[in-house]
Structure 1
Amino acid sequence: MQTPDQTETIRRLNDAARAMPGVTCLASATLGFQALPADDRSAALALIAGFSKFDDNNDPYGEHDFGAIFRLGSGVWTQDRPEADEAIAMTVFWKIDYYEPNLAFGSDAPWDEQRTKRVLTIMLSNEY
């Protein structure tokens, strides 16, 4: 079990990973996400980088390692889940996983930057 300080460090590292994918972490996007129009990909990536809608449902351990963003029928992207499901045209999930440096196994110390590589995966919800 990790300490509150370790959880805070994980959260800080995950926030940095989302803000600078490909720099502070490895980043991977599924074929479905890559097939979106460039404007949609850009809007989605901007929301992921600045994601702040963490709660007990998507962040039960306080690590900021998962989230969902939504494209409404109007074409607007948002972090806020609409009240009516029919208003959602598309849902994109993002997830951060922790691996040991050679990426063969999961990390046993996700708070330690030297012993952990982060991988940010971005996918359409229907690809999950």
Structure 2
Amino acid sequence: MEERIARIRALNDQLRSFRLGGFVTITQGIQGLGKTALQEILMRVAKFDSFEEGNDPYGEHDFGALEYGGQRIFWKIDYYDKSLEGGSPNPADPDVTSRVITIMLASEY
């Protein structure tokens, strides 16, 4: 079980930090902050390392929150099947999983 969680965490960190191995979704609220804000938020998400029991109870590095310009920002990674129509049968296996990170204003959640 620990190996499976470590694999999921590594794949999630790859997507979050380098935008590799999945899809990135930016909500309208984040886009509305402008290009400079978007670049800064993407950098902060990539560098995020404040994982703790409260925001990462399963150790998968699949959620985080940060502040930017007085706004609370959430990011969340979800695991879908390759057709993006349902959940992944095995989030530890990139051959059957499409990862999607969504970056949003907390108010959009």
Give yes or no for TM over 0.5: yes
SS in structure 2 at match of 1:67? strand
Q: Measure, in 1, the Cα distance between the counterparts of 2:35 and 2:103.
A: 15
Structure of larger gyration radius = 1
Tell me what 1:12 maps to. 10
SS in structure 1 at match of 2:66? strand
Structure that is richer in helix per residue:
2
Q: Which has the higher contact order (CA 8 A, sep 6+)?
A: 2
Superposition TM-score, scaled by structure 2 size: 0.96
User: How many residues are treated as equivalent by the alignment?
Assistant: 109
Say if 2:100 is the partner of 1:102. no
Identical aligned residues as a percent = 43
Superposition TM-score, scaled by structure 1 size: 0.82
Tell me what 1:48 maps to. 45
1:26 aligned to which of 7, 23, 30: 23
The runs of 4+ residues in structure 1 deviating greater than 3 Å are none
Tell me what 1:125 maps to. 106
Alpha-carbon deviation of 1:69? 1.0
Provide the aligned C-alpha RMSD in A.
0.9
Alpha-carbon deviation of 1:20? 2.3
Q: Measure, in 2, the Cα distance between the counterparts of 1:125 and 1:33.
A: 10
Q: Measure, in 2, the Cα distance between the counterparts of 1:66 and 1:104.
A: 21
Return the letter of the residue paired with 2:34: P
